[in-house]
Chain A
Amino acid sequence: MLLNIKNLHVSIDGKEIIRGLNLGVNKGEVHAIMGPNGTGKSTLAAAITGRDGYDVTEGEIWFKGKNIIELSAEERANEGIFLSFQYPVEIPGVSMTNFLRTALNAQREYHGKPPVPAGEFLKMMEEKKNLVEIHSKLANRSVNEGFSGGEKKKNEIFQMAMLQPTLAILDETDSGLDIDALKVVAKGVNQLRSDENAFVIITHYQRLLDYIVPDFVHVLFDGKIVKTGGKNLALELEERGYEWIKEQHLA
């Protein structure tokens, strides 16, 4: 199993948000996580990626056969975990090129490889830019600075394409995208999909799942996964909302 989360409890400022969550993801799979606002989806993503302040009070996170709880955020990233942020931040004055080269070289250094040669890197930038149909101009600008909401999301997928993670967590990458951008993002993900990697897609809308067909759909509620199903569960949620699930869970 690529990712195996066992009985995970996560607190922020002493307040428990994730309360005994289990999730297993194999290579080659796409998992969708849905659920009402404020139930802990982004918190789960933060805990997996090792963000400071998200205290794992109980449970284990296994990735590629290693318990990664003790690893720093950058070590987890370099192990191959990527997060497409719900709210990507701006880093003024730092060009996308410089940022990505630094990131890629950090990853290579972690794996004992020499820095990527400039020519090879630029070629790769070109190739991946086309993949996500990102404007050359965007890639020359500072990280997310002045990007529109949709551009920021596409830029996340561009970075994912550059860093080639084994596990990519997409936190509401589809929110705020117009239909064309949505297709571009989906196309990007689908092209990167392989037997060697896996995706966890956090979303509120079934729409994205028309383009990226998930193997499993999970409903996160009250800090736990309370229901798991196939692709059709998303359709059902779209139709019926979450009330019935809440009722089932609280009953």
Chain B
Amino acid sequence: MEVNDNDTILEQVTQNEYKYGFYTDIESDMAPRGLSEETVRFISAKKDEPEWMLEFRLKAFRHWITMKEPEWAHIQYPKIDYQDIIYYSAPKRKKELSSLDEVDPELIDTFNKLGISLEEQKHLSGVAVDAVIDSVSVKTTFQDTLSKHGVIFCSFSEAVREYPELVKKYMGSVVPYTDNYFAALNSAVFSDGSFCFIPNGVRCPLELSTYFRINAANTGQFERTLIVAEAGSYVSYMEGCTAPMRDENQLHAAIVEIIAMDDAEVKYSTVQNWYPGNKEGKGGVYNFVTKRGLCKGKRSKISWTQVETGSAITWKYPSCVLMGDNSVGEFYSVAVTNNHQQADTGSKMIHIGKNTRSTIISKGISAGQSNNSYRGLVKILSGAVNSRNFSQCDSLLLGSKCGAHTFPYIETKNESSIVEHEATTSKISEDQLFYCNQRGIDTEKAIGLIVNGYAKEVLNKLPMEFAVEAQKLLSITLEGSVG
């Protein structure tokens, strides 16, 4: 009895349609469909970029056309036609905006639907929001507070104009355009993104936050984020996003680069709930992201925390290169897949410096017919004496048609280092569900409760306001129409 009944319940509970499916009609300023040197030049010109920026893009483009799209064992998707994508689209903007009143009311409306009204954000949460809608930063708040501390937090385009030396110095220093297919693509056509610079010894007084949102139909979104933390500084950075419902798949290939100098600490948190496609597996965002942090300085620390509930396909391995002696890398992840979603995610920890330490905690949750893979690499080079890694990869299965896979790769080139790996797979048992039911809690709520409990270790790492949102998201992603 258990197996079948249980499956039916789980199926009902987990078949939930995307709640953020709406579409804002804002006149777009779009590039012609397709990708060529022309497109690259168009984008660069649109953005009034200096020559060096165009050069960078062109080099990346010329490299990209020599590369082959990678193939993975556990992800299947129709081939992407790179000539059928619009690589640039910006909401039309007549002049610089100095207050919210000047923002297109439709944009405000979009934010409201997402529950992230900038006004509220400003007044209530004390979070500086750099909102990115279809590639152009519309509004940056709390700029004043930040600049008092010497913190730079602005759109990438603005950084290219205002801080060219910093951008030139650090852009591509962690993720070179030669790194991988999608990194090359991003480097050629990236639209906008965020730039963040924390000067020597400054503890950033605010949680920095960006809401990304993919909007116009058929527009690839190519964000680029660069975070530089100088010696002894600290910053917590949050990235969160939703995408509207769409039939064709949308490609998203972002790059995030983080550099931490001596004693600097960067916490990067992501809550990602892009449109995963409908129940039949149609539509949805393809999310191919390259995120990498370089612990360049001694005792520096970078932690990645992510809650991934969206996208049709997620391919993402936030990584740390532990170059400075005694530096620390951390990766905490909850990845939920439902219906036909596929996620191939994990982390890479590259130990180069002495006494470097890394921790990987990965919690996969699979429902429906989805596939959830953890792929991790821990590499300890010969110079990284006395280094340590601890990895724990847990999978939770809801139903019997979904899959969880774990691929931990370990390469150790010295004997003084210790690498530990633990993995578990579990199911929500019928006993647990009945126990909750018997206390008056319906199955839908029970699954939310159990899943949140399972993911607690990771959720606890998120900044407070994010954690609450993430908890809701986990429940929403798995909730449906019970009886």
Return the chain B residue nearest A51 by Cβ. Answer: B434
Asked if A89 and B437 make an inter-chain contact with CB atoms under 8 angstroms apart, the answer reads no
Contact of A142 among B1, B431, B443, B453 (CB under 8 A): B453
CB neighbors of B among A171-206 (8 A): none
Is there contact, CB below 8 Å, between A106 and B429? no
Q: Once the chains are docked, how many angstroms separate the CA of A98 from the CA of B446?
A: 12
The answer to whether B483 has its CB under 8 Å from any CB of chain A is yes
Tell me which residues from 414 to 460 in chain B have a Cβ below 8 Å from any Cβ of chain A. Answer: 429-432, 434-443, 445, 449-450, 452-457
- Tell me, yes or no, whether B280 is within 8 Å of chain A by CB: no
A88 touches B (CB below 8 Å): yes
Judged by a CB distance under 8 angstroms, whether A16 is at the interface is no
Is B101's beta carbon under 8 Å from chain A?
no
**B165 CB-CB contact with A under 8 Å:** no
Contact across chains for B439 and A159 when beta carbons are under 8 A apart:
yes
Task: Using C-beta atoms within 8 Å of the partner chain, give the interface range for chain B.
Answer: 20 to 34
Question: Which residues 70-100 of A have a CB within 8 angstroms of B?
Answer: 72-74, 77-78, 82-83, 85, 88-89, 91-94, 98-100
Chain A nearest CB from B401 CB (Å) reads 19
What is the bound-complex CA distance between A107 and B436, given in angstroms? 12
Residue in B438, B445, B455, B457 whose beta carbon sits within 8 Å of that of A77 in the complex? B438
> Are B437 and A77 in contact, CB atoms less than 8 angstroms apart?
yes
Q: Provide the B454-469 mask, 1 if CB < 8 A to any CB of A, else 0.
A: 1111000000000000
Residues of chain A within 8 A of B483, CB atoms compared: 72
Q: Which residue of A49, A93, A107, A159 contacts B453 across the interface (Cβ within 8 Å)?
A: A93
Which of B431, B438, B443, B445 is within 8 Å of A83, CB to CB? B438
Q: How far is the CA of A72 from the CA of B432 in the complex (A)?
A: 16
- B2 in the interface, Cβ–Cβ < 8 Å? yes
Interface size on A, residues (CB 8 A): 32
User: Min CB distance, A82 to chain B, in Å?
Assistant: 8
Taking CB atoms, residues of chain A closer than 8 Å to B2 are: 53
Give chain A nearest CB distance to B443 CB in angstroms. Answer: 8
Q: Is there contact, CB below 8 Å, between B438 and A92?
A: no
The docked-state distance in angstroms from the alpha carbon of A159 to that of B439 is 9
Q: Which residue of A lies closest to B443 (CB)?
A: A74
Name the residue on B nearest A87 (C-beta). Answer: B431
Is the CB–CB distance between B5 and A52 below 8 Å?
A: yes
Tell me if B435 and A74 are in contact (CB < 8 A): no
Which of A13, A49, A98, A142 contacts B438 (CB under 8 A)? A49
Selected from B1, B429, B439, B454, the residue in CB contact (under 8 A) with A52 is B1
Asked if B438 and A106 sit within 8 Å, CB to CB, the answer is: no
Among A13, A78, A142, the residue within 8 A (CB) of B440 is A78
Within 8 A of B (CB), among A119-169: 142, 159, 163
Chain B, Cβ-Cβ closest to A98:
B449
State A249–B439 Cα separation when bound (angstroms). 37
Q: Given A102-B441, A103-B440, A159-B439, verify A53-B450 contact (CB < 8 Å).
A: no
Whether the Cβ atoms of B431 and A89 lie closer than 8 Å is: yes
CB pair B456–A93 under 8 Å, yes or no, is: yes
Interface positions of A (Cβ within 8 A of B): 12-13, 49-53, 72-74, 77-78, 82-83, 85, 88-89, 91-94, 98-100, 102-103, 106-107, 110, 142, 159, 163
Sorted from nearest, which 9 A-B pairs have the closest CB atoms? A93-B453, A94-B453, A73-B437, A53-B1, A103-B439, A93-B456, A77-B440, A106-B440, A78-B440
The residues of B with any CB-CB pair to A shorter than 8 Å are 1-2, 5, 9, 429-432, 434-443, 445, 449-450, 452-457, 483
- Other A-B contacts than A93-B453, A163-B439, 7 sampled, CB-CB below 8 A, are A52-B1, A53-B430, A77-B440, A89-B435, A93-B452, A99-B449, A107-B440
> What are 24 pairs between A and B in contact, CB < 8 Å?
A12-B1, A13-B1, A51-B434, A51-B438, A52-B430, A53-B2, A53-B430, A72-B442, A73-B434, A73-B438, A83-B438, A89-B429, A89-B432, A91-B432, A93-B455, A93-B457, A102-B441, A102-B449, A103-B439, A103-B440, A106-B441, A106-B442, A107-B440, A159-B439
